Each structure stands twice: as structure tokens, then as C-alpha cells.
Amino acid sequence: MGNVENGRRRGAGVLSRWAWGLAVAVVGAGCDPGAREHAPADPPGTQEQAALSYNSLSYNGLSFNGLSFNGLSFNGLSFNGLSSADFAAWYAAEPELADEVMRYVVRCAVPQGQTRTFKDPQTNTVHTWTGLLGLAPGWAGGAPATEAEQQIVSACLAAHSNPFGVSVPISVLGRNGQGAAIPASDGELAAFGRPESCFFGNVFKGQGLYAGSQNPPLDATQSTTRACAVVDGSGMPRMTCAPLVYVGSCSSVCTQTGAAGPSFANCTVGGGSFQPLTTRVRAADLAVCGDGVCQVTESCGASNTYDACAADCGACP
């Protein structure tokens, strides 16, 4: 049950499928992870292998006033939904951000090989968004989004949040909106051997987005761009990433699919039950102070901790 996201092209081989990520561009210590900068476009000449893509959706995109009020959940991701007056009004409120949001909504919900097109009536610009993961088959076909589809698309967006604008490969596990398992090979599970987080919620109904942790805690030398739901020795994430709300360990709020299953069947918060997605990462993608590279998650200083890493980032001026 899985899919794998990578921020750069990789050869075919070990892993069965590639999924996609989303990120906010935040540079430098002390920056607000909610601040939005222009996200980089997909590199020219990118060749997709199964579901390979590049991430760029901002945290503002996660909280943008759109998914619950633009009529899409009722009209579907079809011509009727994208041609409605409600959708056009929503899009016109902030076109750049709306385009960014729709690019990833379509990638989450619509199968690979399909596109969805919208002609902006104010500018006559035609926007085409490409499907990838197909997690909401009914909604993608023009039917009203079921609650399960709303939840899984919400989880899909949240699962790929990254406050540093760095694309990191992850394995995404769970079920689509019709209950079918997202396939994963044994090789994928072995390569992505570090359990990370669970993500769930429903932005269509204004029920919020939530993240929990299932990772081994980071030690003081380690850091990761997946900092919003990955805990350290304090038992809390390294960063607060609104609108995501951290809920503690996944096992405390979620029910596993099996006795030793790699994903969860449902998660409950505030009396509401949600269908989640869970993620796994490669241990090699953790930054470690002392490896000779000053990572975006590390800072200068006079110690060997991630936030004062003299060996990698030097002394602070």
C-alpha cells in the first residue's frame, strides 16, 4: 500500500511507483513557514516514471479559502465543476494561489494520463492541470466528492507539506477514496524503512488538517525538511506548521489496518473519524551535523547540534 515521491529524476528499478510532494519556500533561520514565495516550476524536460513529479504547494495553499466554497466538492472535477460561476469567482480572488492549489488537487485526485482544463474568463488564459495519483476516482469523473474522497485528498495535500521548499522522497501508504489499497512493493517498504507520520482531516468541510508522528525521535545532531510531524527528544515536532495541527503519536489516535500493518485504517480527533495517509522516509535523507554539508535545516554555531552546527555551517558571524 504505497506510493513514492521524489524531488529529482531517478532511474527505474528498485521502487514500484513514484508519488509527488508539496512544499513552501522558506529560507533562513527564523522564517515563518506560513510565508509564501513563488514556488519553482517543474524542471523542463521532466520525464514522469509512473508518478514522478516535483513539489511546490505552499502552506497558504493548504489553508486557502477554496476547497469548501468553490462548489467543486458538489460538481466534481469535470467540465461542469470547473466552468461554474462559483469556481470562477473563487479562482479570481487570488489566481496565482488558486492555480497552485488546483495543480495539486488534480494531481492528488485525478488518475495519471488525464488532465483538467479551466479557461479564466477574466484573462482568457487556459490552465491545464495533470492528474497523477487518482485517489478520488468518483470525484475525478464528475460525481460529487464522497466524504471518503474529501478526506483522502485532504490527507494527500497535508502529507506532502514541507516547510523548506526541498523535495524529499517519501513513501505514501493507505487507501484511495474508494477503499482500494495504494500499491507498494516489498522493495519500496525496505528502501523507505523509517516510519514517519500520519496525516488526515477534511478541508472541504472545514474540519481541519492533522498530523501525527510514528518516527523514531530525531537526536540533537539530526534534522529533516519533514519537520512538521517528526518529533525529537522533546516529543514535539521541530516546527509548527499551521494549518496542520499536531496530535501526538499516530498510534494514540489511529487504528492500524492490521496487527503489523504499515498504514492506518482511520484516525479520530475531536469525535470525528478520518481516513488517513501515512508516510515513510529513507534514513539516508536525514541531515546529520558533521557530514560536511550545511543543509537548509542546519544553522551556524559553535556546537555539533543541528541548530548550531559548526562542522557543517561554520561559526556564526
| pLDDT at position 301 | 97
Confidence of residue 258 (pLDDT cuts 50, 70, 90): low
Q: How many CB atoms lie within 10 A of CB 252?
A: 11
Indicate if 266 and 300 belong to the same structural domain. no
Partners of residue 31 on adjacent β-strands: none
Same domain, 98 and 154: yes
**Whether residue 157 is found in the same domain as residue 303:** no
All 3 cell numbers of residue 280?
515513510
Residues 229 and 304 placed together within one structural domain of the fold: no
Find the range with the poorest average confidence among 28-37, 133-142, 305-314: 28-37
Of 6-15, 66-75, 112-121, 260-269, highest mean pLDDT:
112-121
What's the mean pLDDT when you consider all of the chain? Answer: 78
115 and 216 belong to one structural domain = yes
Pair (304, 181) in one structural domain = no
Do residue 84 and residue 213 come from a single domain? yes
CA distances from 61 to 100, 150, 271 (A): 7, 16, 26
Structural domain span for residue 314: 289-317
Q: pLDDT tens across 72-110, in order?
A: 777 788 877 788 888 888 888 888 888 878 888 898 899
What is the predicted pLDDT for the residue at 190? 87
Q: Do 260 and 313 sit in the same domain of this protein? A: no
Q: What's the pLDDT score for residue 294?
A: 96
Indicate the range of 26-30, 126-130, 183-187, 278-282 predicted with least confidence.
Answer: 26-30
pLDDT recorded at residue 18 = 29
DSSP state of 237: B
Query: pTM of the predicted model, to two decimals?
Result: 0.80
For the stretch 168-210, pLDDT in tens is 788 888 899 999 988 788 888 888 888 899 999 998 888 999 9
In the block, residue with C-alpha cell 479551466: 118
DSSP state of 59: H
- Residues 299 and 279 reside in one and the same domain: no
If asked whether residues 195 and 305 sit together in one domain, one would say no
Q: Could you read off the pLDDT of 47-73 as tens digits, one per residue?
A: 232 222 344 456 666 666 556 666 777
Do residue 23 and residue 86 come from a single domain?
yes
Helices (H), 185-276: 186-191, 250-253
| Banded model confidence at residue 3, pLDDT cuts 50, 70, 90 | low
State mean pLDDT over 11-20.
Answer: 28
Domain count, the chain: 2
Confidence at residue 229, expressed as pLDDT on a 0 to 100 scale: 84
From the number of C-beta atoms within 10 Å of its C-beta (0-12, 13-18, 19+), residue 190 rates as exposed
Cβ atoms within 10 Å, residue 249:
14
Number of Cβ atoms within 10 Å of the Cβ of 180 = 12
Rounded to whole angstroms, how far apart are CA atoms 269 and 263? 17
Are the beta carbons of 209 and 194 closer than 8 angstroms?
no
Closest to 295 in 3D by CA, of 312, 317, 283, 314: 312
Is residue 80 domain-shared with residue 176, that is, in the same domain?
A: yes
